[in-house]
Structure 1
């Protein structure tokens, strides 16, 4: 296989005086002249936007005589007056010649970029997108079983609200759109372990359309230190983890001394699976310990919305943030992948759309998995499968949850994969 990678940065500074830009937009007449005129005008505008100051990222790939390309454009709106100066038809296509007279622009003061926090993990090499663009990979967050349920007093239904909270925090980032799948478990009837969930992860991903599946287990929620604390004769809100003090002089204080938790741990394992192959992509443990207000209370529910109400909750929230950061980094370092939902009459429907970061004019490479050619490691575990390059797809329509495009090269089939390769 021969791979050619190109990154074109078309950054053309606009002069203080007016400038003239020209481009020829092209569109098919298959849907009628009015529709073709709008599409050709959009095509010309994209070309002029690049000339005025845009960034274009693309990659081409050749395999077995098939040449395919992927591309993505980020550019500001066209500045100036747009005029159509020429229009012609040829071979079922409409050609529009467009001219833009750029008005003088005021020079804005240069913005000083803010220094990145030292705690921010470096982005993986070669995955930068054009400015202003993002790609959300779809993921499914599943049930997190408890290793020691008896230690989880006062934490509510943590096995279900924890993955839901991970999904919410991950979805706030531009790299992922995560569905709450806390009602699903990868480990029905078996001990939770990273390798035990591979087959189930693959099945859930196929049914949900997810590119990744997130799972794990809650390893430790134990109290590690206790100390006597004063309580005003069993006042409301007494901590459930406290025990009455029965030592010397207990009768003189009316039972107001109780032994209560003062330090508690929290640890969870997080596993990230590839939805297509079930391969384990991440296996990391995140943990912390809180001191102070760590005891469960009958007057306070422990939920994601009330984590800031106690020392223990704030520590758990910080641990979740670290886990989300690592998962986002791992997901963001892998190519965005979508699937062909339907292919009919030369028109291809993709199961991703505007909310996932796609735009009209994007070009994606199309691959066909070869299930019969699964690759195994030395231990006999499936680690992937080979793919055949079919061609590339140009998106012409993008809706919130789907996109429609036209193939170039071979013919797409339902289930084929569409991908922006690593840049």
Structure 2
């Protein structure tokens, strides 16, 4: 096997405003979706016009040559003015005037229509002049998350269900909030299971029983590259603090410790004074959760990490404090949980930043293959990826101790290279460079500059 070195070429030009035309086919989403896609197309062209970096490499294995290629803008433009829009047949056109941000404030941000800088943007520009903080994930070719990776968020199991009696929709709310944060990071395309965990947590055992075959089955069924699961070990309250209780103002986990003051009737025309008493409620609460990140193709465990914290203050929740709601996050316990969820998302980033993007082949037509990833994953026409095939699904590489739950994965072989010729939101069409190869449904393509170094 011969691995060629990576070629990285930088094409630069001056950043300035320009009129750029973009277009998109009018599909099932109608004109509104076509308009947004046309604007995205124009912004991408404007970004490339103001400078682009071409990353390419080649790999020779057993006489077969495959190439990787990706064109990345040096600066992703997000500021624009829409000058004109029109329809021609089945295509929708837009004409925009791009407005590059100052070089000091370049960043990858979602599409926006504002052209003039706000005071907040001016302050951000001033902060950008200071040295950037080091990235929290390891340095590697994929650390910029050029492609969005499909990820399945499995059910997080609660070790002590009674701990969450005062929190409405704790488990499904936790899963939903993690999914929202993972999607907001713009690194992933997350999906959620319905009450399906990635492993078993048996009573009387602390460590979960890992099941690589279950992980592989979940990844196949949901069509994802990775599977994330977890165990919430402890969210129990502790300690005591005292306050007055007015009426029936007693939440789960709180109790009265003094008799109520008898109700007083001031007048037949006035309402009764509600009973006043003293109640005891927990002063603090813990949060302890274990995160597990799995590779969907092999079922192998990529990362296990624990997140712990505690907080003092308003820690018990009422019946109308739904997990993930703003009302929940406004409590002291909710604020701590919100911080921990952010750290869990950062932990997923750490585990997957250096894992190559991959997509499965879902359909084959002669020398064309249909991939289960498209523009939402940031695939683009002209991208070149490598096509791999698992040699045998029955040849799992076992661990030294023979434990099936600790299998190392499955061997694979490089089959060909593919070039993306058409991109839709949820799928892409690619052609094979090696016409003598017959791809199969279930084979997968991968982009990894690290593979070819």
Instruction: After TM superposition, give the deviation of residue 222 of structure 1 in Å.
Output: 0.8
Structure 1: runs of 5 or more not aligned = 17-45, 78-104
Residues 110-259 of structure 1 mapped to structure 2, 5 A cutoff: 110-111=103-104, 114=128, 115=130, 118=133, 121-128=136-143, 134-187=146-199, 190=202, 193-232=207-246, 234-235=247-248, 237-246=249-258, 256-259=277-280
SS at match of 1:161: helix
Instruction: After TM superposition, give the deviation of residue 414 of structure 1 in Å.
Output: 1.3
SS at match of 1:315: helix
- The one of 417, 434, 441 equivalent to 1:392 is 417
Contact 2:156 / 2:231 at 8 angstroms: preserved in 1? yes
- The two structures have a TM-score, normalised by structure 1, of 0.77
Residues 213-362 of structure 1 mapped to structure 2, 5 A cutoff: 213-232=227-246, 234-235=247-248, 237-246=249-258, 256-362=277-383
Instruction: After TM superposition, give the deviation of residue 277 of structure 1 in Å.
Output: 0.6
- The two structures have a TM-score, normalised by structure 2, of 0.72
Take 1:406 and 1:186, find their aligned partners in 2: how far apart are those partners?
35
Instruction: After TM superposition, give the deviation of residue 75 of structure 1 in Å.
Output: 4.0
Contact 1:154 / 1:302 at 8 angstroms: preserved in 2? no
SS at match of 2:395: strand
SS at match of 2:198: coil
Contact 1:141 / 1:182 at 8 angstroms: preserved in 2? no
Structure 2: runs of 5 or more not aligned = 17-43, 76-97, 107-127, 264-274
SS at match of 1:318: helix
SS at match of 1:330: helix
CA distances 1:383-405 after superposition (whole Å, capped 9, x unpaired): 11111111100111000011111
Instruction: After TM superposition, give the deviation of residue 373 of structure 1 in Å.
Output: 3.4
In structure 1, what is the equivalent of residue 439 of structure 2? 412
Instruction: After TM superposition, give the deviation of residue 10 of structure 1 in Å.
Output: 2.2
Take 1:156 and 1:402, find their aligned partners in 2: how far apart are those partners?
37
**CA 1:75/1:303 → structure 2, altered by over 3 Å: closer, same or farther?**
closer
Instruction: After TM superposition, give the deviation of residue 210 of structure 1 in Å.
Output: 0.7
**CA 1:302/1:382 → structure 2, altered by over 3 Å: closer, same or farther?**
closer
Superposition CA RMSD, Å: 3.2
Aligned residues: 360
Instruction: After TM superposition, give the deviation of residue 241 of structure 1 in Å.
Output: 1.5
CA distances 1:202-227 after superposition (whole Å, capped 9, x unpaired): 11101111101111111001112112
In structure 2, what is the equivalent of residue 73 of structure 1? 71
Instruction: After TM superposition, give the deviation of residue 305 of structure 1 in Å.
Output: 4.4
SS at match of 1:379: coil
